[in-house]
């Protein structure tokens, strides 16, 4: 599905215009100490003309036939592109932690990579210390990979998905 660059897009967010819209699809998750899992996901990136893009994601665990088993992660935040091509992101999760991410918007391809700069957790949240994310626009789809360091394990792959513009 083609996308249109909004007329009111802020110049700083224009390099991320390919993200704007609603995406949905499936992904895979794994991590030491948990069973591998499949999930469905919906992601929305929206803008209102100011120099940020609002992000919202919700996911649900699915079985081998694609049926919903239970609700899963939710997260929301703001991507804040900077004039020098760097990217800041603030994000919070339903599981009790908030993060500040930093990274760069790729100059020649529609993709960006971010890593955690800071993580704050509530007293009841699991031990989570760092993350790395890569998002890219590939053949019209949104692909991402998320690496995580948590529960005493070093940074390693956790989830990845392929989402289709809705």
Report the pLDDT value the prediction gives residue 3, as an integer from 0 to 100: 77
Beta bridge partners of 53: 79
Rounded average pLDDT over 113-140: 97
Provide the 3-class DSSP secondary structure of residue 60.
strand
Rounded average pLDDT over 72-98: 97
Residue 26 confidence class, pLDDT cut points 50, 70, 90: very high
Report the pLDDT value the prediction gives residue 4, as an integer from 0 to 100: 83
Token pair in block for residue 61? 């665990």
Report the pLDDT value the prediction gives residue 1, as an integer from 0 to 100: 61
Residue 97 confidence class, pLDDT cut points 50, 70, 90: very high
Name the CA dihedral angle for 93, 39, 55, 87, rounded to a multiple of 10 degrees.
90
């Amino acid at each position: 599905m083609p996308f249109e660059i909004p007329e009111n897009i802020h110049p700083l967010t224009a390099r991320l215009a390919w993200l704007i819209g609603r995406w949905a699809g499936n992904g895979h998750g794994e991590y030491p100490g948990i069973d591998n899992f499949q999930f469905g996901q919906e992601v929305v990136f929206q803008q209102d003309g100011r120099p940020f893009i609002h992000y919202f994601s919700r996911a649900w665990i699915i079985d081998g036939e694609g049926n919903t088993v239970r609700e899963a992660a939710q997260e929301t935040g703001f991507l804040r592109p900077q004039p020098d091509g760097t990217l800041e992101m603030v994000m919070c999760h339903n599981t009790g932690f908030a993060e500040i991410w930093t990274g760069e918007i790729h100059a020649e391809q529609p993709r960006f990579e971010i890593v955690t700069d800071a993580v704050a957790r509530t007293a009841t949240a699991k031990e989570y210390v760092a993350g790395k994310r890569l998002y890219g626009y590939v053949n019209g789809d949104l692909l991402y990979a998320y690496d995580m360091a948590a529960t005493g394990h070093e940074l390693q792959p956790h989830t990845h998905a392929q989402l289709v513009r809705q």
